[in-house]
Amino acid sequence: MLIYIIIIVGGILIDQLTKYAAILYLEPISQMPLIPNVFHLTYIENAGAAFGMMSGWQYFLIVFSFLTVGALCYVFFHTPRERRFIAVRLSLCFIISGAVGNLIDRLRFKYVVDFLDFRLIGFPIFNVADIFVVLGGLLLAYVLIKKPILIDVLIIAMQKPKKKKTSSSYVKTGRLEGLKKQRSRPIKKRRPDQKRNAERHKRPRKEPQVYTTIEDVTKRGRITFTPTPPSDTKKKSSKK
């Protein structure tokens, strides 16, 4: 992430420094040919979009630039940090740096400073920010042609971040997705420690000791019977 931020900030700084040099040195002389009739440095104030298009639509271009930069930043920060999306993130970095560079000029001067003039092919005069935007667009188009993954990026960026479920929510909803994921992972079998097993076998087993106590219980309510001689009445009845 830090590398991408450095690319964006570096692109903005390069664009602003070149424009500052153009204002400082080119504005008084208006033109400086480096290769005659091929490549010149020509100072102009562009009140339109890139390459002089939509001239005079400053307020519309400012609002449109803000919306474009915001949308690109949103997609950039929601793009997954995977290897297959590196080219997409780089292209977004170039486009964002170029769009921000021109937006700074529109907010400061209400026009954009252009100074790169290719006379050989009759190309419109442009600046460094336009180069970054074109490079980012070409890289993004190449990625789309080779690997159409921009749809995946937009789908992922538009998805809402999923909230982490707590243990109470698992119990309420009855969904044990987290536990299933943990169970689905392969369990590494640990090798038995042979030394510990050998020491356990060598140790003598201690038999459990049982302690018993016998208590004398005094017998209560014991009844003793003593034999008695039969009465006289019983003897008489027996004689009769």
The predicted pLDDT at position 172 comes to 45
Annotated catalytic residue: which of 15, 105, 114, 117?
A: 114
Q: pLDDT digit of tens for each residue in the chain (240 aa)?
A: 889 999 999 999 999 999 999 999 999 898 999 998 899 999 999 887 765 566 767 788 889 999 999 999 998 988 888 888 888 899 999 999 999 999 999 999 888 999 999 888 888 889 999 999 999 999 988 888 877 665 666 566 666 555 555 544 444 444 445 555 555 555 555 555 555 666 666 666 666 665 555 555 555 555 555 556 655 554 555 554
Annotated catalytic residue: which of 130, 152, 193, 216?
A: 130
The predicted pLDDT at position 20 comes to 94
The predicted pLDDT at position 12 comes to 96
193 labelled catalytic? no
Q: How far is CA 163 from CA 82, 87, 169, in A?
A: 22, 29, 11
Q: Are the beta carbons of 30 and 42 closer than 8 angstroms? A: yes
Handedness of CA 143, 149, 150, 153 (dihedral sign): negative
Helix residue ranges, H only, the chain? 2-21, 27-29, 58-77, 86-109, 128-146, 150-158, 167-173, 177-184, 194-202, 232-239
The predicted pLDDT at position 124 comes to 87
The predicted pLDDT at position 8 comes to 94
The predicted pLDDT at position 187 comes to 56
The predicted pLDDT at position 171 comes to 46
The predicted pLDDT at position 191 comes to 55
The predicted pLDDT at position 190 comes to 53
d(CA 75, CA 154): 7
List of residues 6+ apart from 108 with CB closer than 8 A: none
216 labelled catalytic? no
